[in-house]
Amino acid sequence: MTIWRDFPGASTAPRTDPAAVTVGNFDGVHRGHQHVIARTRELAGSLPVIAITFEPHPLAVVAPDRAPKRLTTMRRRVELLHAAGVDEVRILDFTREMAAWSPQEFVDRVLLDQLHTHLVAVGDNFRFGRRASGDTTFLREAGERAGFAVDGLGLDGGTEPFSSTLVRRYIAEGRLREAAEVLGRPHEISGVVRKGDQRGRELGYPTANVPVDEAYAVPPDGVYAGWVVRAHGERLPAAISVGTNPTFDGVERRVESYVLDRTDLDLYGEEIRVELVDRLRGMVRYDGIEPLIAQMADDVVRTRAALGI
């Protein structure tokens, strides 16, 4: 029975040739992760570099109430890992049975039996095996016994190392520019555009609406400057509202993006990424349409300034 999840862009077959391996959740593929991958590539020489990630997050299996908000979809994570320089992505189909493996079982079943590992590079905070009892010290000792090298790496970031937890905190506080500093790019929300109330079109500001998935990290309700990225790569500047549209007594939380100067776009049914660059203001309930329209015009001006366009 395979331990790997079948997913576009990821591999599942056991390897027979040696490889360099890096292991982690890699949620967000932030600059700390990128540093580990670059170092793995440097140490690997001519060996292919494999990144192992987990689905679902291990905490979602062993302690669901403590499972963190996700920073990216798995599809985006796979894309970002390849872009960071790995040759192969492996997604461990994480189960309660796997959570019960001892650290040695993880080494034997994953690194040796499946991947023919000659080198492992991980963040120095990496933990694995039952109750997270394995660490880089154990991994080095296992490597000495089995014949593979181990390198434990810092995640950079100065006094506060880069981490997915730090990114989530910045996002929760609406500090999108700080989040981008850790990620190396703007934080983004993905989803399929669907029809909303179409009030924006009536007001002269048509929006592409994506429902908020609460499993993912979403900043506080408010208005943001950012970009809409289409599937073919086109990036469009946008004023973005996150919230329930309180002026019209909305209930559903949405990400609504007005692409600047465009009233001709038909994005319904299209999957987009919404990149959030900067928070402009909090959410406000307006008494009437006119003050709302005036505020939206000001939001557009401030969006241009925030994006430098």
pLDDT in tens, 81-124: 999 999 999 999 999 999 999 999 999 999 999 999 999 999 88
Residue 257 has pLDDT above 80, yes or no: yes
pLDDT band at 203 (very low <50, low <70, confident <90, very high): confident
Answer for the pair 71, 16: CB distance below 8 angstroms, yes or no: no
pLDDT band at 284 (very low <50, low <70, confident <90, very high): confident
pLDDT band at 70 (very low <50, low <70, confident <90, very high): very high
Residue 66 has pLDDT above 80, yes or no: yes
Answer for the pair 115, 64: CB distance below 8 angstroms, yes or no: no
Residues 6+ apart with CB under 8 A from 298: none
The DSSP output letter for 111 is I
Q: Is the four-CA dihedral 51, 57, 62, 63 of positive or negative sign?
A: positive
Give the position of tokens 């073919």.
Answer: 232
Answer for the pair 163, 155: CB distance below 8 angstroms, yes or no: yes
pLDDT at residue 109, as a whole number: 96
Is beta strand 187-192 parallel, antiparallel or unpaired with respect to 235-243? Answer: unpaired
Least confident window among 202-206, 217-221, 224-228, 256-260: 202-206
pLDDT at residue 251, as a whole number: 64
Two tokens, residue 231? 């599937």
Least confident window among 47-61, 187-201, 275-289: 187-201
pLDDT band at 198 (very low <50, low <70, confident <90, very high): low
Least confident window among 243-252, 262-271, 289-298: 243-252
Residues 6+ apart with CB under 8 A from 270: 192, 193, 230, 231
pLDDT at residue 245, as a whole number: 77
The DSSP output letter for 14 is P
